[in-house]
Amino acid sequence: MELRHLRYFVAVAKEGHITRAAEQLGIQQPPLSHQIRALERELGVQLFRRLPRGVELTEAGRAFLEHACTCLRQVEEGVEAAKRAARGEQGHLRLAVPPTAPFHPFVPTVIRAFRDAFPMISLAMEESLRTETVERLLSGQVDVAFLRASIASPEGLVVYPLLEEPMVVALPTGHPLAIGSGSEAVPLRALTGETFIAYARDTGPALYEAMASACLQAGFSPRLGQEAPRITTALSLVATGFGVTLVPASMRRMVLEGVTYRDISDATDARAFLGLMARRDEPSAAVRHFVALVRSAARTGGNGVPTGTSSA
């Protein structure tokens, strides 16, 4: 049995007349009659009762019609689903996000924009640090990832720079430099001698290097205190008075009791990077659509988000 046999049968059933069904199908009446008889022989049942002017379904024919229509409809839906997937309009996308990325308004904005533009693509987000992100992209466990580190593209992958944003200093609320107007910028050199909460170099080397470089630019080498595996842990240590640290400006969105954020007045090169990493020659149209949307939003200044400076 072939799909055309089902189409022939459904056409005759709906028309109630073989000649009219043949005209609708664009074939001759004798071959259509032959195909219907062949289908009945294959099924071993009579599907139509022949009348002087047309045909009518038998009880077996009515039962078969329901399933034939369902089968044809499912095939049509399958064809459309395949075409949508080929166009990148349907499918699955697994996105890796570093812990600090969701605090940058650009990230949730472009994710919402993608979901609005491609509602039939299911998107799953997973938190991932840089080293494991590279491994998971190469192994196919994730499809695309945001990055907080400006790195050379690993073999088989490509890194797209998106935005940069200034770093700010996070101080314990009782610190002398935290007292006063929230708009007052702090000279980084005023933190000479302070204990800096350091990011773990194996998991967050980009933020550690940005902090160390800014301090050296200000004329001193930071005195490192306790090491924090994540930026949220570093801020918790600041809140409890263990030291100070530098964080991307978007982290101001994380309101934590005991932490005060201040702009830096003398470290204009203290910048935090935001990029996107994907497999080179990515075969998935859905992933390519996501990359294109995100890069386009970055080029237009963050899709209306006035945070950061576009560098894409």
pLDDT by residue (tens digit) across 152-195? 888 999 999 999 889 999 999 989 999 876 668 889 999 999 99
What letter would DSSP give residue 58?
Answer: -
Residue with tokens 């369902």: 70
Give residue 307's pLDDT.
36
The number of C-alpha atoms within 13 Å of 89 and in the hemisphere containing its C-beta is 6
**Residue 238 DSSP SS3:** helix
Its pTM stands at 0.69
Among the ranges given (1-5, 58-62, 128-132), the one the predictor scored with the smallest mean pLDDT: 128-132
Q: Reply yes or no on whether the pLDDT at 256 is more than 60.
A: yes
Over its C-alpha atoms, the chain yields an Rg (Å, rounded) of 32
Residue 1 or residue 132, greater confidence? 132
pLDDT band (50, 70, 90) for residue 77: confident
pLDDT by residue (tens digit) across 82-132? 777 777 777 889 999 988 888 899 999 999 999 999 998 999 999 887 778
Q: Which domains does the chain have, with CATH numbers?
A: 3-86 (1.10.10.10), 91-162+275-310 (3.40.190.10), 164-271 (3.40.190.10)
Tokens at residue 264, please? 């830096």
Instruction: Indicate the residue type of 143.
Output: D
Share of the chain above pLDDT 70, in %: 93
